[in-house]
Structure 1
């Protein structure tokens, strides 16, 4: 990975709040919050001035406890929720000169279908459980404008094979599959249009340890083979250690520390990161 190259994704001052704010919390300079919550009006500041770069072929980990804002950040990036403020630039889209958050809903759909794939923590959000597995992949390809049934079947089979779904189960619905298999179908679907960026949100939570290891191995293998850039959210430092080149640590909606993953795990600077690392040891 060449550090000198321009990032494939740049995010600057991403903010997301739930609630209208009040006189006591509207001004960031003298805002008095409990964690990321205004006790006076109940507004929650889920993401506060989040800025980062993601480089081509890099895995960027985002770690933090439940409620730290990491999944909200992912939802804003994939347009599952509207960001309240901030900018994001994607190099393959309009030469990285257009703020993704300011695009029309039609353009956001285009970006989501062509430039990004997302794997959700809960497969129910990423898959149609009653469709066939191959039908789920075709759905993402159709959304990106593909109309060639033969090509979609071939691509679907190729991807399901890549993620180790047996050929004889490709026409089966994911509702019949185990959690680990459902995650693998989600990964295949997310990769269907060759997106430059993959968003992985807590993809191993709730899976048995041996299944977790298989899913992580698969992600590592695919990332190397396809040289894809990955934004990886987890509360589990073991997952981050295995996959991420660099890591951002989030707490109460803000980034409190960032750096090379090894560096953060071996020499954490922030008290919260130290606590996280010690809980892993």
Structure 2
């Protein structure tokens, strides 16, 4: 197996439920769920045995309507939530042999600070709004063990330049910025430690169309330049079409279809995917 065939990230049977489950919903084969919700005990099955791989330099798109489980999946991958069960392995941690979900909180912090970056839909979750932009980047570098102030200033300036934040606004707090600029600062912060894997959760939702386009162009350019692997979640197939090499389609917590993005868009097999694609045309 060559290095390009070894996945950067492997996820196996990731399962996340809210509630204890009951005899009516625990058995997947006979479960009487409405969408992903048990009418008897109220348990919600946000992610149901989701499995996928992400390869070096690949952008994996995950698409689905609100409530399909895609954002919960991203929260689990970045340890913002605990999984109910399942496994995840990254090649940059313990040779890809240790389940991330079974690591101590200290190890999970290490993985967040060195191996993954995340850009949240809501910049309030990814940035300290009262810190300067360059201070936000320094915070991530300090969390990863950096103590060299000069290096952090240089790295922050380099990244903010890369994401087109004007020089005279580097010391300004993101609370003064537009939504598109806040997302750019988040992207710079997420990239600060050269992570092999970047998680992008609905990063253009709520932005004006022209701003969306510039953020997407930025992501596309950075991905090509850095050859970084990305998991990109969106409910917008236009975003997925522009950026993703392969795509998973989620519905009610499950992956219902996956394949090359072109193949999914040109010849969707599942009825729900067909509706999604039709709505884009």
TM tier relative to shorter chain: over 0.9
Q: Greater shift after overlay, 26-35 or 219-228?
A: 26-35
1:210 and 2:210 are equivalent in the alignment = yes
Taking the TM superposition and a 5 Å limit, the aligned residue runs for 1:25-44 are: 25-44=25-44
User: Which SS does the other structure have where 1:147 is aligned?
Assistant: coil
- Matching of residue 163 in structure 1 with residue 163 in structure 2: yes
* Unaligned runs of at least 5 residues, structure 2: none
| 1:62 equivalent in alignment to 2:65 | no
Aligned-partner Cα distance in 2 for 1:95–1:68: 32
- 1:245 aligns with 245
Q: Which runs of 5+ in 1 are unaligned?
A: none
Paired residues, number: 280
Shift of 1:28: 2.0
Match of 1:187 in 2: 187
Partners of 2:259 and 2:195 in 1: how far apart? 25
Q: TM-score normalized by structure 2?
A: 0.98
Once the two structures are overlaid, the 10-residue window that deviates more, 19-28 or 36-45, is: 19-28
1:98-154 deviation per Cα after TM superposition (whole angstroms, max 9, x unaligned): 000011111000001100000000000000000000000001111111111110010
- Distance (whole Å) between structure 2 residues aligned to residue 116 and residue 237 of structure 1: 24
Give secondary structure in 2 for the equivalent of 1:28: coil
Deviation at 1:32, TM superposition (A): 1.1
Deviation at 1:268, TM superposition (A): 0.3
Residue by residue, what CA displacement relative to the aligned partner does 1:233-267 show, whole Å, maximum 9, x if unpaired? 00000000000000000000000000000000000
Deviations 1:7-66 (A, max 9, x none): 111000000001111121122232110000001111000000000000000000000000
Q: Secondary structure at the match of 1:45?
A: strand
- Is the partner of 2:37 in helix, strand or coil? coil
Q: Give the equivalent residue in structure 2 for 1:232.
A: 232
Distance of 2:232 and 2:79 partners within structure 1: 16
What residue in structure 2 maps to residue 90 of structure 1?
Answer: 90
Equivalent residue, structure 1, for 2:47: 47
Q: How does 1:94-173 map to 2 (within 5 A)?
A: 94-173=94-173
Moved more, 20-29 or 164-173: 20-29
Give me the whole-angstrom Cα distance separating, in 1, the residues matched to 2:8 and 2:176. Answer: 37
Q: What RMSD, in angstroms, separates the aligned Cα atoms of the two structures?
A: 1.0
